[in-house]
Amino acid sequence: MKDNNDNSSNSAGQKPKSVLVPFLLCFILSVGASGGISFFLVSSSKDDPELDSTLSKYDARITDVQNAQKKYSLQIDKIEKDSEELKLYLRHSSATALKNILINQEENIQSYLKVMKSAMNDLSRITPDSADWNSQYQYRLDLALKNSLEREDLLRLLKTGEPNEKASQ
């Protein structure tokens, strides 16, 4: 029985060796074949003049694209710089428009105050015993008109640097 057990253990030890050797040979053969084919393809492509001319054409195209990219990059930088300058002009032009609107608004307020002052004066003439009342409101209207003229003067100074002509009269 010992012989049977020894034979079975020997045959079990030989099976893995007998299976391992063909797999190893197959692996070495496939690696060698793929390496040889790769070497053949690489060496044959180096000697191909058509491939060389195609590669040189692509190199020239890549160089042209890179030059164009640099040119466009410079143009984009210039446009961005001009854009910032135009944004600054736009801000100043809209600020000027707002200043014009505010100046126009102050002129309208002054016109309203003058009409109101005249109407209050007329009302005080119609109403008996209203001299104190009229003088108090005339004083307040004069202050409001004076403040409006000062605001207009400041707005004109902001806009043009020139003082208001009405304030000097």
More confident: 166 or 52: 52
Phi-psi region at 100: left, alpha or beta (left = phi > 0; alpha = psi -120 to 50):
alpha
Q: Is the pLDDT of residue 102 over 50?
A: yes
pLDDT-derived band at 1, boundaries 50, 70, 90:
very low
Q: Is the pLDDT of residue 2 over 60?
A: no
DSSP assignment string, 107-141 = HHHHHHHHHHHHHHHHHHHHSTT-HHHHHHHHHHH
Q: Is 102 in contact with 148 (CB distance < 8 Å)?
A: no
Mean pLDDT of the 118-146 span = 86
Rounded CA-CA distance 151/46 in Å is: 85
Rounded CA-CA distance 162/169 in Å is: 15
What is the model's pLDDT at position 90?
66
Mean pLDDT of the 124-146 span = 85
What is the model's pLDDT at position 40?
82
Angle at 67 between CA 64 and CA 72, to 5 degrees: 120
DSSP assignment string, 62-107 = HHHHHHHHHHHHHHHHHHHHHHHHHHHHHHHHHHHHHHHHHHHHHH
